[in-house]
């Protein structure tokens, strides 16, 4: 995903968002959430029990 976004950005394929910063805020939030993901949280979940939603 990161390589695709980088390629799109380098090749001018991403449109500027203009005055609305919603997309930028979503991207920042996604990246912050992504940093918190680990293999154990994806497998075990937040409650610490396998299979918990």
Extents of the domains making up the chain: 21-46
* Alpha helix positions (H), the chain: 2-10, 22-36, 39-44
SS3 41: helix
pLDDT score for 31 = 85
* pTM exceeding 0.75: no
pLDDT score for 24 = 84
pLDDT score for 7 = 92
Cα–Cα distance, 38 to 44 (Å, whole number): 10
pLDDT score for 47 = 56
* Spans of the chain below 50 pLDDT: 52
pLDDT score for 42 = 60
Q: Judge contact between 53 and 47, C-beta under 8 A.
A: no
């Amino acid at each position: 995903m990161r390589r695709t976004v980088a390629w799109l950005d380098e090749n001018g394929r991403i449109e500027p968002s203009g005055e609305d910063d919603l997309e930028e805020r979503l991207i920042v939030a996604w990246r912050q959430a992504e940093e918190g993901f680990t293999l154990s949280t994806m497998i075990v979940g937040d409650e610490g029990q396998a299979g918990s939603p």
